[in-house]
A and B are shown apart, each in its own frame.
Chain A
Amino acid sequence: QSALTQPASVSGSPGQSITISCTGTSSDVGSYNLVSWYQQHPGKAPKVMIYEDYKRPSGVSNRFSGSKSGNTASLTISGLQAEDEADYHCCAYAGSSTWVFGGGTKLTVL
């Protein structure tokens, strides 16, 4: 069971859109519709932004969207705002009641 692969960092200017990728294998990301994304501000606990690949919890801005193609899931944030600057982590079901996270991506709003 290896960690999912995320870019270490991404950046964008206010108002722009960015996409963070999360690459796994056919045993995790590619096998189940159970990818979730978490936002984490410094010193804080993570907060779920997307679950089941693309669903948004109540209260999460519709500027956040999730998608998946094959073994790669993606999180897109549109209309970037300063408050979106944070770390983002993907998580996927890996079978046999086990879970795997990505290495995390630091988003910088320029």
Chain B
Amino acid sequence: QLQLQESGPGLVKPSETLPLTCTVSGGSISSSSYYWGWIRQPPGKGLEWIGSIYYSGNTYYNPSLKSRVTISVDTSKNQFSLKLSSVTAADTAVYYCARWFTSSWHLDYWGQGTLVTVSS
């Protein structure tokens, strides 16, 4: 059974960079059938797509976050990562990593999510 697990700090200071890693187990991140993505959800609000990455390293970002987001992949560790720079309180959210199934373009597996709070 495929599992995704987010890891990273639960508290980040304003203006700093938020780093998160998603570890994939039970399947290979290098499969050509999938993209891997980050989605966030501010407390009490809806979901927001942050960006996606293919195992080859091709990346796609939300235009509203593009200037602050970097997503990378490490196939040797079966992991992909998110870095969000210059964070503010508005970046406080539960961050999810998930898998896009490219045959039908939907998110079929999700991590449990990790709450990241931006505060001094």
**What residues make up the interface of A, taking CB atoms closer than 8 Å to B?**
1, 3, 6, 34, 36, 38, 45-48, 51-52, 55, 57, 89, 91, 93, 96-104
Q: Do A52 and B104 touch across chains, with their CB atoms under 8 A apart?
A: yes
B54 nearest CB neighbor, chain A only:
A97
The listed residue with most A CB atoms (<10 A of its CB), out of B105, B106, B108, B110, is B106
Q: Do B46 and A1 touch across chains, with their CB atoms under 8 A apart?
A: no
Contact residues in B for A51 (Cβ distance below 8 Å): 104-106
Q: Do B49 and A55 touch across chains, with their CB atoms under 8 A apart?
A: no
**What residues make up the interface of B, taking CB atoms closer than 8 Å to A?**
39, 45-49, 52, 60-64, 96, 98, 104-108, 110-113
| Least distance between B33 CB and chain A CB atoms (Å) | 15
Q: Do B107 and A48 touch across chains, with their CB atoms under 8 A apart?
A: yes
- Chain A to chain B contacts (Cβ below 8 Å), 15 pairs: A34-B105, A45-B111, A46-B107, A47-B110, A48-B106, A48-B107, A52-B104, A52-B105, A55-B104, A57-B108, A91-B49, A96-B60, A100-B49, A101-B47, A103-B45
| Least distance between B35 CB and chain A CB atoms (Å) | 9
Give the 7 A-B residue pairs with the shortest CB-CB distance, closest first. Answer: A51-B106, A104-B46, A45-B110, A97-B60, A103-B46, A36-B106, A101-B47
| Least distance between B2 CB and chain A CB atoms (Å) | 13
Known: A98-B62, A99-B49, A104-B46. A45 touches B112 (CB 8 A): yes
| Least distance between B93 CB and chain A CB atoms (Å) | 13
